Structure 1
Amino acid sequence: MPFVQRDSAHRIVAVSQLPQDGMEPIAADDSELADFLATLNDEASRISATDQDFVRVLEDVVELLVSRGVILFTDLPDSAQQKMIYRQRLRSALPGSLDLLGDD
């Protein structure tokens, strides 16, 4: 059974699987609990939706820094180098792949 903490307006503000001070039990299928958890999922989904674009920007920044001699590709940890190489191969195989920074 889950436990919830409520604010002064009696809205759920925290959920726990273990009882803690200030928490009350709630049915696992309670609609208010489901709404609270859906709100958390919506917030996580919004940030996750930007992850792919952000990773691409970071890849382009690393490539820019390497091309301008600010850092050496070999300065990156081996695991990062391998991931960059793998993604570059995948990207180059895609027709019409994105180029966010361009060749400026």
Structure 2
Amino acid sequence: MYIKRAKDGRIELISREATPDCREFLPAESPELLSFLMEEPSSPGAAHFQASDLAFVRVLEDVLEVLMDKGVISFTDLPEPAQQKVMERQTLRRRLSGLSLVGGDDEESGVI
């Protein structure tokens, strides 16, 4: 994602593509970018914590996938509610990947 910073260094604007205003690149998983997306004006500390949670969820997804790939556990070993959540996350991830949200050129303006 490409960003524009305010004079104080905070992220001010985000774009999927480089624009005259948004020139600096940040990876989509950047804690600073996630924090900006989740930030509530009254609680920037909470936004950082939520961004950290999102990043950690991704780590857990990867660990679960590795364990299943290595045969340490199987999908059916998980409780039914966990299976449903895993399937939901996989579906959402496929949809988001299909939309090319990071660096995609199918949007007209690309500015969030």
TM-score when normalising by structure 2: 0.45
Bigger radius of gyration among the two: 1
Q: Which has the higher contact order (CA 8 A, sep 6+)?
A: 2
TM-score when normalising by structure 1: 0.48
